[in-house]
Amino acid sequence: MTRRPRGRPAGSKNKPKPPIIITRDSANALKTHVMEVADGCDIVESVSNFARRRQRGVCIMSGTGTVTNVTLRQPASSGAVVSLHGRFEILSLAGSFLPPPAPPAASGLTIYLAGGQGQVVGGSVVGTLIASGPVVIMSASFSNAAYERLPLEEEDPSMPLQGSGGGGSIGSPQQQQMLGDATAPLFHGLNPNLLNSVQMPTEAFWNTPGRSPY
């Protein structure tokens, strides 16, 4: 009789493994967008409408093109508002736009422009920003943003941390009551990923007197 060899047959451990296929995006994933704003359209309004309709936050990283008749607030001039007439080429464009119920102050746009005589101006965009020809914007969008108010207050060690299980969920009874009663119309139709990630204070930040959230 022939003895059977002990152990696994040769080559049995080298079987190919099936590929891992991801069929759904993570709530924390960023999506890259190349946005083209048509001639004569307001860049601020166009991006704001995109964020509201898609219920996603938008972070603008850069932009190229030409704009006309720009109004800027310049911090170096004690916040003076300057109106620029004519065509200007975009050197730098950055900002963020958040859909409701985020406060309007959470959205804003900063731009640096070059004029026809070589002058460079920049500041925060006030009002409209009209494209003069196609303007191409490179941006990233996200759906799972957490709203934080800084500085963080001291927390009671005996109380469980809010959102300690991940995702920034709302756990206190006061917050649940506030979301269930007082602010229900504000959150109607909001993307669940964006809603579950917003950390709300015990007092609604848009109604807190005498304190700015920024």
Q: What is the pLDDT of residue 1?
A: 66
137-190, pLDDT tens digit by residue?
999 999 887 778 888 887 655 555 444 444 444 444 444 433 344 333 444 444
Mean pLDDT of 69-86: 85
- 24-36: buried (b, 16+ CB within 10 Å) or exposed (e) per residue? eeeeeebeebebe
93 pLDDT band (50/70/90 cuts)?
Answer: very high
CA distance 107 to 99: 9
Q: How far apart are CA 20 and CA 24, in angstroms?
A: 12
**Candidate from 11-20, 78-87, 157-166 with smallest mean pLDDT:** 157-166
How far apart are alpha carbons 196 and 210 in whole angstroms?
27
CB-CB contact of 58 with 141 (8 Å) = yes
| Residue 75 CA, distance from chain mean position | 23
Tell me the residue length of the chain: 214
pTM confidence score: 0.60
Under a CB-based contact definition with an 8 Å cutoff, are residues 187 and 204 in contact? no
pLDDT score at 25: 72
Q: Between 11 and 32, whose confidence is greater? A: 32
Q: Which residue ranges make up each domain of the chain?
A: 31-142
* Per-residue tokens: 202: 């015990």
Lowest mean pLDDT of 63-77, 101-115, 154-168, name the range.
154-168
CATH code at 31-142: 3.30.1330.80
